[in-house]
Amino acid sequence: MMNDIERVLFNEECLKNAVNEIGRKISSDYRDKNLLMVSILKGSVVFMSDLIRAISIHCMVDFMCVSSYGSGPKTSGVVKILKDLDIEIAGYDVLIVEDILDSGITLSYIMELIRARNPASIRICTLFDKPVKRDVAIKLDYKGLEVPDEFIVGYGLDYNEKYRNLRFVGVLKPKIYDKQNRGSL
């Protein structure tokens, strides 16, 4: 698995500091609110599990699963709900927790869907921001680390469902997805 990584972008300590910092801000901002954290599966689970433990106030947790990608490294533009929320969110202060904001297509779709269910408020929290590729303008309320225009994996982020278990975040060697894409043509 390590042979597929070009270089390490963020090590464990760097990720931990970024997550703790976001957790502190959320704990202070939502002190008198009704916080419901919505994790977008599957990429954000590792971030979410560390983030909720960096939060010192009451919070509820729910999950939604959407797919925005085919098997390649680029956004298809098609967003499909694979698992909806369990909790009725009307009246809650919803905080959407994403792994990475790239084109913004996935998050803007999820925002609209959640807004229509009348929460008290909606905010967005993403660990990684890849601003170069943005197609849809989105206000990020909490963000951890900015990433360059490269395909990254680890700490929950995958390529073809693999590499999520890496404890750091690294750049995937382009030959890994070039090889796959050639294979599917």
Q: Which of 30, 63, 69, 155 contacts ligand IMP by CB under 6 A?
A: 69
Could you say which of ligand IMP, Mg ion, none residue 123 binds, taking C-beta under 5 to 8 angstroms by partner kind? none
Output the CA torsion 58→64→65→68 (10° steps). -100
Question: Min. distance of Cβ 151 from ligand IMP in angstroms?
Answer: 4
Nearest alpha carbon to residue 144 among 6, 44, 59: 44
The residue annotated as part of the active site, out of 102, 135, 158, 178, is 102
Buried b (16+ CB within 10 A) or exposed e, 122-150: bbbbbbbbbeeeeeeebebbbbbbebeee
CB 137 within 8 A of CB 85: no
Q: How is residue 46 written in tokens?
A: 């590792």
Return the DSSP state at 135. -
Buried b (16+ CB within 10 A) or exposed e, 31-62: eebebbbbbbbbbbbbbbebbbebbeeebeee
Question: Min. distance of Cβ 37 from Mg ion in angstroms?
Answer: 15
Name the segment binding Mg ion (CB under 5 A); options: 27-35, 36-44, 129-137, 145-153. 36-44
Check binding of 43 to Mg ion (CB under 5 A): yes
Which CB atom, from 39 or from 89, has the smaller least distance to Mg ion?
39
CB 30 within 8 A of CB 51: no
Which CB atom, from 6 or from 120, has the smaller least distance to ligand IMP?
6
Which CB atom, from 92 or from 128, has the smaller least distance to ligand IMP?
128
Q: By beta-carbon distance, which residue lies closest to Mg ion?
A: 43
Residues 9-48, interacting with ligand IMP (CB under 6 A): 43
> Is residue 102 among the annotated active site residues?
yes
d(CA 62, CA 71): 26
Q: Which of 38, 48, 110, 157 contacts ligand IMP by CB under 6 A?
A: 157
Which CB atom, from 57 or from 66, has the smaller least distance to Mg ion?
66
Q: Mask: binding to ligand IMP, 102-131, rule CB under 6 A, as x and -?
A: xxxxxx----------------------x-
Catalytic residues: 102
